[in-house]
Every structure is written in C-alpha cells, then in structure tokens.
C-alpha cells in the first residue's frame, strides 16, 4: 500500500497539470449552451468535435464556430453559418460573453423576433443575420451598440419602421434589402458608410438629401420612395397662397422701413461720390444665396455686394493694400472690385469668392465680417505674416480693412483642398500612403516654421483644417488663411472691449487640429466636429486590438506598411492629448523621421 500511494499522487498531479482547463467562466459556458439549445441545432450536435456542452471549454476544446483570443482565454467570434439552425436567437444568453466582437448566424432557418437585449453586447462590432426567417421589427436598442461597424439583416421577413441609426458613429455597412420594412428611410451617417442598401422593401417618402454617394440600386424596389437618385421625383411642396393679415401688415412695414433706409444710404453715397470716386464689387451668387446685404426681393437676382471708397487716382487708398506679387502685376484694386465674383464657400468666419479680373488670373477673395480687431492691429498682423514666407503657406496678395469687414485676396488654387481630395471626387488622382505621408511632413514643417518665426507675436494659424490645406499646380500642399482667425493671448490696447479677447486659438490648438487632419489622412473619414468623435472611435478600436479596422481601405488595398501607419496614428493621438500635447517642432521631427524610414524601405525594396 505504501508503494501504491506515491504512484497515485503522480497520477493526480499529472491529471491536474495536463487536463484541459476551462478558461471561460462557468456561467458564460452555461449561457453559451443555452444559446445553442435555443438555436435548435438538431442533428448537428452529433458532428465530431461539436462541443457546446458544459463539460468542455469553448476555447481549449475548440467548439464548432467559436474563435477565441490569441491566449485562448475568452470568446471573440461566433460564426454559425449554413448549419440549418431552426430555432430562435437568444441575445440574453449570448451577450453574457463580455468580449464578443463578431456574431454571424447567416443562411440558416432561424425564426422569431430580435430581442431588445441585443444592446447588451456592448463590444459587438459585426452582426450578420442575413438569409434567415426573422420577423417583426428591428429593436431600437440595436442603435445602442457603441462599437458596431457592420449590420447585415438582408433576406429576411423583418417588418415595421427602421430605427434612427444616426447615433452609430462607427457604422460602416448596413444592408437590409429584401425585407418588408415600411415608413421613411431613417437617418444614418451617410457620408461615413461604405456599403448601404434598403432595396426591395416597402419604404416611402423622400430619400435623404445627403445619400448622393449611393445610386438607385440601394433604393430600388420601394415604389413609394422618391428622390433625385430614383425615377420617381418628389413633389414640390406648394407655397401658401395667402398670408394672415397681421403678417402682411408686418412685412409691409418692414418693406417701407427698408425703402427709407435705402434712400438715405443712396443720398449719403451720392454726396460721397461727388467728393471722391468710388468702386464696388458685385458678386453674382452661383447658388442663389445671399452672403451680403439682400436686395429684399425674392424675385430679384440675388447678389452679394461689398464696396470701398477713398481710392486715390492711379493707386490704392490707405485702407487698401496690394502687395508685390507677379500674380497681381499691374492689377489695381478697383479692377478687382469691379470684376464679377462667384460665391464658392461660406463658413462661420466669412465667405469665399472666386474673382476673375479682366485679362487676369483668377483669385479668391476672403470676406470676414464682424471681427472685433482694430484696423492697425489687423495691418500689423498681416504685415508680420507676409514678411515670414514659407513655400507651403499660401501668401496674401492684397487686403482691405474697414470697421465693418475685412477682405483678403489669394491666388486661386484650381486643384482644390485636401478635404475634397479625401472625401470628394479624386478625378483619377492617386492619393496613396506615400503622398499622404509627404503631405503630413510638409504641412508639419510649415506650421513649425511659422510657429517659430511668429511666436514672439503669438499668432498661430487658428483655423487649421483639411479645407484650408490647398494644392497648387504641382499638387504641393499649402496652408491657406494663416493667422486670420487667431487672437492674441493679451490685448495691448486698453481701449479694446475686454470681452472680445479670446485665448482659445493657441499653438496647442494648432497641434490638436493637426492631429485631427492626421486622423483624416489615415482613416479617410470626414470630421464632423472638432475631431473628438473620430478620435474616440479610433481609440476604442485600437483598445480592442482591431487597429487595422481604423485605416482607410484604399491604404490597405495599396499594401501600405501597417507598422508605419500605426506609428503615424500614435503621433495623431499624441497631438490630440489636451493634457500634455507635444510642440509642433517635435511632431514635425517624428513625421520627418517616419518619412525617411519609409523612403529607405522603398529604396531597399527596389530591384
């Protein structure tokens, strides 16, 4: 007996060391077994290695359709496709798998409704339910999935109205064709979607205006849908034929008052004209909107007008300065003001006009209204910026300043902006990894140079974004509108209103904005706010170790180095760290080093 006891201990130890351990919690395993039982696997349970029982572990025993993380600790994916499952989908059970990212039960015969408990799968990124016999409506709780990227519910029997998906900032794909959905097409972040279809349902009403990127194939088979992408056009809403008497009298009073004001202004203008000649610019607005003072009549041709006076004979007044440049060689400011102008953009800081003077090159006039900065301060700022030249900073050709408004003139860049290249039509242009990295390096260098040269006067860019990065004729990037919207951190003039002094636009804000542009370059996604939403999404994906999902598909297809893209992504996130942001010089050095490494790699790989 004494001899047998040591042998028994060896057997026990061997069993403890080498028997398969259960890595998932027992309650999770039990929930998964319940989940499978409700799916009705039938004869599939006799499949060798089927698993799905409480006496084994989903990771170490490798249950059919289950994929775990690289350490075989927790379940990440459940893919049960084409298994002739005939039961119901139990989200209450399966969502107890806390790290579940992918759930697919496509191409089975699953019936019943979707449960509200789908929202409990907080980390779920991919949900595939197509090719089953689901019925009822999609629960509103499906829009509470914070990380979901792909939702595919096509080829089922779903009914009712689709929920509002506009809250899902990470959603890239939504396919719901071949169902029986009714009601209007819901709201999505359409500009972000890569794939979308609600074809062959019973939807009605107009398709959303911002779905122009999806053609009719995404909406066909809905006879009551209308829109510019479809054969059925939406009816124009009839205007009211009659107004209430009170409104008529009210607007008539406004019209009379406006007429009196116009007459007074005309009398004053005539008196000034007798003393000095005047010039004006009239802008025929292409889209029919009025960016300046309206004529007051809806039927009259809308135009934008801003004028200047005190033009000296053969030159420019003290309030108007034309800077030396071959672009404006021989051009007088009054010629510029008389030329027709086309409204090409409007933002919260002002409007942009494309102007083509007679026998001259096209230029852009930036009109800024109601900016509380004195004429002398504005002049000093522009003179300082003009003195500090950089090849990647678009120079100001001319400027004008008055109490009411300020005008700046730039050379028109026909190749458009970075925003248009990333999110609009590329017109056959290839904008690959090398070009994006080179652009980031050039712009970082320009910002660093300007920060260093202008730091004594505290003038950051103040409005840095992808729409203000333009391309010249050689497709080289250049910064537009440098220093226009920024404000001093202190006000040296004691007569100024202290409430107008702001401190939000600083060198740190430029660094933060540069990080947002880097995220645009890497993800190919537009920024809807200050970039916080995009940064939050990127951070959440990186934490889940799905970093590759962040990058623009075009870069992945190109075969760009994932390692170097990750490095640039880390630089972007550092820039957006509001507590300890790096200096622009440090950012430029990191990107320059990355660019050199990329170029060495390309050179060494050449045959």
* Residue 262 within any structural domain of the chain: no
The pLDDT mean for the chain works out to 75
Domain boundary among 389, 412, 435: 412
Low-confidence winner among 80-94, 168-182, 477-491, 585-599 (lowest mean pLDDT): 477-491
- What is the CATH number for 338? 3.30.200.20
Q: Say if residue 474 is in the same domain as residue 341.
A: no
Q: What is the pLDDT of residue 323?
A: 66
- What is the CATH number for 47? 3.80.10.10
Q: Say if residue 517 is in the same domain as residue 531.
A: yes
Tell me which of 500 and 183 has the higher pLDDT.
183
pLDDT band for 194, please (50, 70, 90 cuts): confident
- For every residue of 23-42, DSSP letters joined together read -S-HHHHHHHHHHHHHH--G
Q: Say if residue 517 is in the same domain as residue 553.
A: yes
Inform me whether the pLDDT recorded for 497 exceeds 60. Answer: no
- What is the CATH number for 486? 1.10.510.10
> Whole-model pTM?
0.49
> Residues marked as binding for ATP?
366
Q: What is the pLDDT of residue 178?
A: 94
- pLDDT tens profile 384-403: 777 777 888 888 887 777 77
Q: What is the pLDDT of residue 293?
A: 31
% pLDDT > 70, the chain: 70
Inform me whether the pLDDT recorded for 488 exceeds 50. Answer: no
Range of the domain at 438: 414-607
Burial zone of 147 (CB within 10 Å; 0-12 exposed, 13-18 middle, 19+ buried) = buried
Q: What is the pLDDT of residue 579?
A: 81
pLDDT band for 598, please (50, 70, 90 cuts): confident
- Distance, CA of 230 to CA of 270 (rounded, Å): 54
Q: What is the pLDDT of residue 580?
A: 84
Distances (CA, A) of 550 to 17, 86, 170, 543, 553: 41, 36, 10, 11, 9
- pLDDT tens profile 134-192: 999 999 999 988 888 899 999 999 999 999 888 787 788 899 999 999 999 988 877 77
Contact predicate 150/172, CB 8 Å: yes
> Residues marked as binding?
366
Question: Cβ neighbours of residue 259 under 8 Å, at least 6 residues apart?
Answer: none
* Residue 183 within any structural domain of the chain: yes
Of 102, 101, 59, nearest to 79 by C-alpha is 102
Of 463, 481, 344, nearest to 410 by C-alpha is 481
Terminus-to-terminus CA distance in the chain, angstroms?
75
- pLDDT tens profile 17-49: 444 444 568 889 999 999 999 999 888 888 888
Q: Which two three-digit tokens encode residue 242? A: 């009659």
- pLDDT tens profile 426-457: 555 667 888 899 899 999 998 888 887 765 56
Q: How many domains does the chain have?
A: 3
Domain boundary among 387, 412, 437: 412
Inform me whether the pLDDT recorded for 593 exceeds 60. Answer: yes
Q: Say if residue 461 is in the same domain as residue 606.
A: yes
Low-confidence winner among 238-242, 344-348, 420-424, 513-517 (lowest mean pLDDT): 238-242
Q: What is the pLDDT of residue 388?
A: 72
Q: Say if residue 399 is in the same domain as residue 424.
A: no
């Amino acid at each position: 007996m004494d001899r047998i006891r040591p042998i028994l201990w060896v057997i026990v130890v061997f069993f403890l060391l080498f028997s398969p351990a259960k890595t998932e919690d027992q309650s999770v395993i039990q929930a998964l077994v319940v989940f499978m039982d409700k799916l009705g696997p039938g004869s599939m349970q006799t499949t060798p290695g089927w698993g799905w029982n409480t006496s084994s572990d989903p990771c170490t025993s490798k249950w059919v359709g289950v994929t775990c993380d690289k350490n075989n600790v927790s379940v990440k994916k459940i893919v049960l496709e084409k298994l002739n499952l005939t039961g119901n989908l139990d989200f209450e059970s399966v969502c107890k798998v806390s790290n579940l990212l992918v759930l697919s039960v496509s191409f089975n015969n699953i019936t019943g409704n979707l449960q509200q408990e789908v929202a409990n799968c907080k980390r779920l990124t991919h949900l595939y339910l197509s090719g089953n016999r689901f019925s009822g409506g999609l629960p509103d709780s499906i829009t509470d999935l914070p990380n979901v990227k792909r939702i595919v519910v096509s080829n089922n029997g779903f009914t009712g109205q689709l929920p509002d998906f506009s809250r899902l900032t990470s959603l890239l794909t939504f396919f719901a064709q071949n169902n029986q959905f009714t009601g209007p097409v819901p709201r999505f972040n359409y500009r972000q979607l890569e794939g979308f279809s609600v074809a062959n349902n019973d939807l009605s009403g107009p398709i959303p205006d911002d779905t122009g990127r999806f053609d009719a194939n995404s909406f066909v088979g809905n006879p009551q849908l209308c829109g510019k992408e479809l054969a059925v056009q939406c009816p124009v809403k009839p205007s009211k034929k009659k107004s209430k008497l009170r409104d008529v009298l009210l607007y008539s009073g406004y019209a009379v008052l406006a007429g009196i004001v116009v007459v007074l202004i005309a009398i004053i203008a005539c008196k000034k004209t007798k003393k000095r000649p005047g010039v004006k610019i009239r802008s025929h607005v292409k889209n029919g909107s009025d960016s300046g003072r309206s004529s007051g009549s809806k039927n009259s041709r809308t135009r934008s007008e801003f004028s200047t006076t005190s033009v000296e004979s053969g030159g420019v007044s003290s309030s108007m300065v034309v800077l030396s440049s071959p672009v404006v060689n021989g051009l007088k400011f009054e010629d510029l003001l008389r030329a027709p102008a086309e409204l090409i953009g409007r933002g919260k800081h002002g409007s942009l006009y494309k102007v083509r003077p007679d026998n001259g090159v096209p230029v852009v006039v930036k009109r800024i209204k109601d900016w509380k900065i004195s004429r002398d301060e504005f002049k000093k700022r522009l003179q300082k910026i003009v003195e500090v030249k950089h090849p990647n900073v678009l120079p100001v050709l001319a400027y004008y300043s008055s109490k009411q408004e300020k005008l700046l003139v730039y050379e028109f860049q026909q190749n458009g902006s970075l925003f248009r290249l990333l999110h609009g039509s590329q017109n056959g242009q290839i904008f690959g990894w090398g070009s994006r990295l080179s652009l980031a390096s050039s712009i970082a260098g320009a910002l660093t140079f300007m920060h260093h040269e202008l730091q004594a006067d505290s003038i950051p860019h103040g409005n840095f974004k992808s729409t203000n990065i333009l391309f010249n004729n050689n497709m080289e990037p250049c910064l537009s509108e440098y220093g226009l919207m920024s404000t001093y951190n202190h006000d040296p003039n004691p007569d100024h209103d202290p409430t107008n002094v702001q401190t939000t636009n600083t060198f740190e804000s430029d660094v933060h904005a540069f990080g947002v542009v880097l995220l645009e370059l890497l993800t190919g996604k537009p920024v809807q706010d200050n970039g916080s939403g995009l940064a939050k999404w990127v951070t959440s994906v990186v934490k889940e170790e799905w970093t590759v999902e962040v990058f623009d598909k075009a870069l992945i297809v190109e075969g760009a180095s994932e390692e170097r893209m990750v490095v640039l992504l880390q630089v972007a996130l550092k820039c957006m760290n509001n507590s300890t942001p790096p200096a622009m010089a440090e950012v430029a050095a990191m990107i320059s080093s990355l660019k050199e490494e990329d170029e060495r790699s390309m050179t060494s790989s050449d045959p």
